[in-house]
Amino acid sequence: MTLVLASSSVSRRRLLAQAGVAHEVLPPGIDEDAAKSAFEVEQLGPRDMADALAELKARAGWARARTTTLGCDQTLEFEGRLVSKAATMESLRDQLTMLRGKTHQLHSALVLVENGEPTWRETQSATLTMRAFSDAFLEEYLAREGRDLEGSLGGYHLEGRGVQLFDRIIGDYFTVLGLPLLGLLDALRRRGLAPL
């Protein structure tokens, strides 16, 4: 039996591989924007939205692969509201300016689906405080990292130059990267999908 990762995230693939977890990648093929809109109508908060999207992806992956499937999602909460990924460099600049000198939360949700139903789930949160970086730093950061940040929630990769944006981080490193590994590895070991 092989774990299926219902995600197109390069970071999640890399983290699983580095942890020694054999897996296959099968992007879930869902309309995430439409799903988010539907969940917003249900008035799900950012943390619950991450969990609901992770389950949706895991169910979609399981329907295609018919084996244990991991769905993942991460949301960013700022001042009680959901913040989406920036679609352009200008919106990325605006988003980082908005977060500068302030605190936000990342919610990373994982759901395992077996036999068509969720059998394990976990949502971890991290609290991140950005430093009051200068406009000059922001422009240099965007010039160096810019295109690599497209599709990155919050506009940073903590495992790279993005760490320079922060004063303080409370929470698990893997949660910030979008794949809280410790609980997941325990769940996978109990299913024979990770080394004992």
Residues annotated as part of the active site: 73
- Which of 138, 127, 122, 96 lies closest to 181, judged by CA? 122
Tell me if 162 sits within 8 A of 145, measured CB to CB: yes
For 86, residues 6+ apart whose C-beta sits below 8 A from its C-beta are: 92, 94, 95, 149, 150, 155
Phi, psi torsion values for 26, nearest 5 degrees: -140, 95
β-strands 166-170, 117-130 pairing: antiparallel
C-beta of residue 153 within 8 angstroms of C-beta of residue 12:
no
* Phi, psi dihedrals of residue 106, rounded to the nearest 5°: -110, 130
Q: Look at residue 79 and give its three-state secondary structure.
A: coil
Amino acid at 99: L
